[in-house]
Amino acid sequence: MEPATTRAAPRPLRADAQRNRDRLLEAAVELLPQEGPHLPLEAVARRARVSIATLYRHFPTRETLVLAVHHQEMTELATWADELATTLPAEVALQRWLYHLGRYGSTRPGLGDAFRAAALAGEELLEQTYKATVDALDGLIAGAAATGHARSDIEAGDVLLALCGVWDLPGTPEANAQTDRVVRLLLDGLASAR
């Protein structure tokens, strides 16, 4: 029997280092919709008012920075799913969250590719991000199924994978309309036959 390997928990950042990391993420969030997944790291550091060395200390590659942004935002969306589930009828919570998620993806270039990669396994933070999103959607689907407004035989990962396709669209009004049509199609597929 092989010994179990355990990872040491990362040490918490000093307060000033945490502020710098937060400012870098905030700057990346602002720049990502315009620049896409190839956002210039120098522009992120400049907007965050830190040196490029500080950026690289926190995010050694562009991909780690983009992934950190996706993780932060998808974790927030997962929390929002919980809030919707407690404040709205189950079917309305599911609809509102899926419409928002569909449109959100078009403002985050590269997110669809990242989630498709996560579905095939890979980077741990990406897998955590994907799992948080799938868990949130599973909860919303289960809530709607419990009230008879959704099928119970649909897996959130399948819905999410189908939704990833619209994330390759630009954030134009025409693309947003197409995204809404795709989300409606997914919701129709989720609806119970009642």
Q: Are residues 55 and 78 located together in one domain of the fold?
A: no
| 36 pLDDT more than 80 | no
Q: What tens digit of pLDDT does each residue of 50-83 get?
A: 999 999 999 988 878 888 888 898 899 999 999 9
Q: Which residue has the tokens 């700057």?
A: 27
Q: Is residue 9 part of a domain?
A: no
Mean per-residue pLDDT over the chain, rounded: 85
The predicted structure's pLDDT at residue 124: 79
| 32 pLDDT more than 80 | yes
Q: Are residues 185 and 114 located together in one domain of the fold?
A: yes
Q: Is residue 2 part of a domain?
A: no
Q: Are residues 67 and 156 located together in one domain of the fold?
A: yes
Is residue 38 within a helix (H) or strand (E), and if so which, with residue range?
none
| 144 pLDDT more than 70 | yes
Q: How confident is the model at residue 1 (pLDDT cuts 50, 70, 90)?
A: very low
Q: Are residues 161 and 93 located together in one domain of the fold?
A: yes
Q: Are residues 50 and 67 located together in one domain of the fold?
A: no
Range of the domain at 100: 62-190
Q: How far is residue 183 from each of residues 91, 108, 159, 163, measured CA to CA in Å?
A: 14, 17, 9, 7
Q: Are residues 55 and 76 located together in one domain of the fold?
A: no
Q: What tens digit of pLDDT does each residue of 101-142 get?
A: 988 887 776 667 766 666 665 667 778 888 999 999 999 999
The predicted structure's pLDDT at residue 64: 82
| 38 pLDDT more than 90 | no
Q: How far is residue 181 from each of residues 52, 54, 68, 124, measured CA to CA in Å?
A: 42, 43, 30, 33
> What is the torsion angle, in degrees rounded to the nearest 10, for the CA atoms of residue 134, residue 140, residue 141 and residue 147?
160
Residue type, 32: L
**How much is the average pLDDT of 22-38?**
87
Q: Is residue 7 part of a domain?
A: no
State the alpha helices, DSSP H only, in the chain.
Answer: 15-35, 41-48, 52-58, 62-87, 90-106, 111-119, 124-146, 156-164, 173-190
Counting the structural domains of the chain, the total is 2
Domain boundary among 29, 45, 60: 60
The predicted structure's pLDDT at residue 187: 92
CATH of the domain at 164: 1.10.357.10
Q: Is residue 96 part of a domain?
A: yes
Apex 69 CA angle, 51 and 50, nearest 5: 10
Q: Is residue 75 part of a domain?
A: yes
Q: Are residues 73 and 46 located together in one domain of the fold?
A: no
The predicted structure's pLDDT at residue 2: 41
Q: How confident is the model at residue 193 (pLDDT cuts 50, 70, 90)?
A: low
Q: How confident is the model at residue 6 (pLDDT cuts 50, 70, 90)?
A: very low
Q: Are residues 153 and 171 located together in one domain of the fold?
A: yes
Angle between helices 124-146 and 111-119 (to 10 degrees): 90
Question: Of 180, 179, 162, 159, which Cα lies nearest the Cα of 170?
Answer: 179
Q: Are residues 28 and 95 located together in one domain of the fold?
A: no
Q: Are residues 76 and 160 located together in one domain of the fold?
A: yes
Q: What tens digit of pLDDT does each residue of 93-107 get?
A: 999 999 999 888 877
Q: Is residue 24 part of a domain?
A: yes
Cα separation of 135 and 4, whole Å?
27
